[in-house]
Amino acid sequence: MTSEAFRILRAAGRAQVAWKNGGGVTREIAASPGAATGAFDWRVSLADVTEDGPFSVFPGVDRTLTVVEGEGMDLMVGGEHHIVDEPYWPHDFPGDLETDGRLLAGPVVNLNVMYRRDRVRAQVAVVRGTLRLAAPEGGAVLAVALEDGAVIEGTDTGLGRYDAVLLRHRAPCVLRTQGYAALVTLTGQEPGSQ
């Protein structure tokens, strides 16, 4: 299997970008068509949340938030409470509604998937074991190791915690995990290059 079939995105190479409100930092894993804030069709990142506060509003964007470290958050989304306290449990909400987050018991790390609902659909699942990864036609699939000990079958390519593998072509690969991984499947228009 050639590395052209997939792209490894290492956690160690990600820049930390501070939030405007100072309540945390974001580390982008992948985005399409690029990393410009607000100009994405889809974006996947890890957010270190250290303080209570408002979320940024993204018109036309849907979000999936998954707590991967910490005790969770109480989200007030458009005036409704959403308790997000189950680790590795994806929670969907509209990104264009006013949202405020309150930490339940200290800092958290969230896997954050955002996508423009008129261009892309995203499905997020947290899984473990042997995963056959194949990008849907005109889409992409991203697997993020949430724990150490994942390897791409037939290669010596291992994934540590928060490393990811991105497939844009239909050629499949097999990921074997010892722990959990987040699987993000993106469908819709052909996502642009990163």
Structure confidence at residue 173 (pLDDT):
87
Q: Are residues 70 and 21 in the same domain?
A: yes
Structure confidence at residue 91 (pLDDT):
96
Q: Are residues 126 and 99 in the same domain?
A: no
Q: Which of 15-19, 124-128, 169-173 ranks highest by mean pLDDT?
A: 124-128
Q: What is the secondary structure of the chain as a DSSP string?
A: --GGG-EEE-GGGPPEEE-TTSSEEEEEEEEES-SSTT--SEEEEEEEE-S-EEPPP-TTEEEEEEEEESS-EEEEETTEEEEE-STT--EEEETTS-EEEEESSS-EEEEEEEEETTTEEEEEEEEEEEEEE-PPTT-EEEEEESSS-EEETTSS-EE-TT-EEEE-SS--EEEEEEEEEEEEEEEES-----
Q: Which of 116, 145, 161 lies at the terminal end of a domain, its last residue?
A: 116
Mean of the pLDDT values across residues 66-94?
94
